[in-house]
Amino acid sequence: MEHLAGGDLSEVLLVRRPDGRLSVAKGGPAAASEAAMLRGLAAAGVPSPAVEGELGGVLMLEHVENDRVFSPAAWRSIGSALRRLHDKQGESYGWPVDYALGTVALDNRQRSEWPAFWLEQRLVPTASVLDRPWRERIAALGSVIADLLPAAPAPALLHGDLWSGNILVRGGRLVALLDPACYHGHAEVDLAMLTLFDTPDAAFWEAYGPLEPGWRARRPAYQLFPALVHLRLFGAGYAGMVERLLAALDGAD
């Protein structure tokens, strides 16, 4: 066995089976939830590692070869797959079970009001253990979020933790999306996180298709959540990112 790159929030090992096949063993408290999410991605027509087994907090997955070359063709493949994922819609916002991103617990109670879900089940709880000035500024965003976000966007199936580290490509095409944190919500949530940490090629946007009017104004509100998660998990190096996004939202008030 050997450790694989990544695994910021859980241990990930490459396992060589007796017949020579390679598998990935991933530890964590939510193996069954992640297995269900990976199966959900596959059912939506999105490449993802096959689930080989789950037992006692260990998830066994197919090992997917990749070359990490994000060419325009690869970005086009990613854009097409993400559109397929987002076209798979639910009946409400949220997910059947709660889970966590590391130590950040996520409240996935399903509801029909999107701005309230985003503020009350993503932004405010994630900021709840930060210093008081951060908490107060996030709590004060209620009117901004209510005015800025659509009341009832299509409840798209989201990957939920979309950045290039969770995207495997090979030979100019997407071969797997990894480490999902799925729920149903506004499709722009995935796009916002992807653009927070990466710069998709123009081919990605062409393949994904047109965005809804007002997406630029909404993007800071959606990027604020992963920024807060990173501030919680990885420290003060992300404070500037959070501050920048809050300043953008102050300007939207």
Whether residue 46 lies inside any domain: the answer is no
Known catalytic residues are 161
- The answer to whether position 20 is within a domain reads no
**In a domain? residue 8:** no
* Tens digit of pLDDT at every position of the chain (253 positions): 454 554 444 678 888 877 778 889 887 778 889 999 999 999 999 999 999 998 778 899 999 999 999 999 999 999 999 999 999 999 999 999 999 998 999 999 999 999 999 999 999 999 999 999 999 999 999 999 999 999 999 999 999 999 999 999 999 999 999 999 999 999 999 999 999 999 999 999 999 999 999 999 999 999 999 999 999 999 999 999 999 999 999 876 5
How many domains, the chain? Answer: 1
DSSP sequence for 78-127: HHHHHHHHHHSB-SSBB-SS-EEETTEEE----BS-HHHHHIIIIIHHHH
* Residue 215 belongs to a domain: yes
Identify the CA nearest to 34 among candidates 182, 195, 136: 182
Could you list the residue range(s) of the whole structural domain that residue 201 is in?
65-252
Query: Rounded to an integer, what distance in angstroms lies between the CA atom of residue 41 and that of residue 174?
Result: 13
CATH of residue 89 = 3.90.1200.10
Is 175 part of any domain? yes
Q: What is the DSSP letter of 9?
A: S
Q: What is the pTM of this model?
A: 0.93
**Residue 106 in 3-state DSSP?**
strand
How many CB atoms sit inside 10 A of residue 143's CB? 9
* Of 186, 183, 110, 111, the residue nearest 145 (C-alpha): 186
55 assigned to some structural domain: no
